Amino acid sequence: MISNIPTHEDFYKTGKELLVFSWDIVAKLLLNLDDAEYFGVDPEEVSEEYWSLASRQINTALAITQQGIEFLLKGRICEISPYLLISDTPSKWPSPYDYESIEFSKFRTLDAQDLIRVLDTFSDQKLDVSFVQKFNDLREKRNVIMHSLSTSLDVQFSEVIESLLYMHSTLFPSESWAKIRKEGLSNHPNSELGSSDFISNEICRELSIIIDLLTPAQAKKYFKIDKGRRAYFCPECHYEANHDVDFEFKLARLTSRDVSCSSLYCPVCDSVYEVSRNDCSEDKEVCPGNVISDTYSICLTCGH
Query: Would you say residue 109 lies in a domain?
Result: yes
Question: pLDDT at position 149, please?
Answer: 60
Pair (165, 243) in one structural domain: no
Do residues 40 and 89 both lie within one domain?
yes
Give residue-wise pLDDT tens across range 176-214.
Answer: 999 999 999 988 887 777 677 899 999 999 999 999 999
SS3 149: coil
Residues 29 and 136 in one domain: yes
Residues 20 and 137 in one domain: yes
**For the range 284-292, what are the long-range contacts, defined as Cβ-Cβ under 8 Å and sequence gap of 24 or more?**
291/232, 291/254, 291/264
Task: Report the predicted TM-score, pTM, of the whole model to 2 decimal places.
Answer: 0.92
- Residues 292, 231, single domain; the answer is yes
Instruction: Choose between 43 and 8: higher pLDDT.
Output: 8
Q: What is the mean pLDDT of the chain?
A: 92
Asked whether residue 112 falls in the same domain as residue 234, the answer is: no
Give the contacts of 160 (CB within 8 A, at least 6 positions apart). Answer: 22, 26, 58, 61, 62, 65
Residue 191 in any domain: the answer is: no
Residue 151: band (very low, low, confident or very high) from pLDDT cuts 50, 70, 90: low
Phi, psi (deg, nearest 5) at residue 225: -125, 150
Q: Which residues contact 293 (CB under 8 A, 6 or more apart)?
A: 235, 238, 273, 275, 300
**Tell me, what's the pLDDT at 42?**
84
**How many whole angstroms separate alpha carbon 207 and alpha carbon 178?**
8
**Is 234 among the domain residues?**
yes
Residues with Cβ within 8 Å of 98's Cβ and at least 6 positions away in sequence, in order, are none
Last residue of a domain, one of 175, 191, 218: 175
Helix H or strand E segment including 253: strand 253-254
Do 36 and 116 lie in one domain? The reply is: yes
Going by pLDDT thresholds of 50, 70 and 90, the confidence category of residue 148 is low
Please indicate, yes or no, whether residues 14 and 147 belong to a single structural domain of this protein: yes
pLDDT in tens, 21-80: 999 999 999 999 988 888 788 877 888 888 889 999 999 999 999 999 999 999 999 999
Query: How does residue 145 score in pLDDT terms, banded at 50, 70 and 90?
Result: confident
Percent of the chain with pLDDT strictly greater than 90: 75
Are β-strands 2-3 and 102-103 bridged in parallel, bridged antiparallel, or unpaired?
Answer: parallel
| Average pLDDT of span 287-294 | 94
Per the structure, how many domains does the chain have?
2
Domain interval for residue 167: 1-175
For the cut 60, the answer to whether the pLDDT of residue 152 exceeds it is no
User: With 80 as the cut, is the pLDDT of residue 144 above it?
Assistant: yes
Q: What is the pLDDT of residues 254-270, one digit of tens each?
A: 999 999 999 999 999 99
Do residues 136 and 18 share a domain? yes
The reply to whether 78 falls in a domain is yes
pLDDT at 153 (0 to 100): 62
CA–CA gap between residue 58 and residue 153 (Å, rounded): 11
33, 5, 8: which is closest to 171 by C-alpha? 8
Residue 111 pLDDT > 60: yes
**Three-state helix/strand/coil letters over 63-79:** HHHHHHHHHHHHHHHHH
Q: At residue 121, does pLDDT exceed 90?
A: yes
Same domain flag for 132 and 42:
yes
The CA distance from 286 to 281, in Å, is: 10
**How sure is the predictor about 150, in pLDDT bands with cuts at 50, 70 and 90?**
low
**What is the arithmetic mean of pLDDT over 164-185?**
95
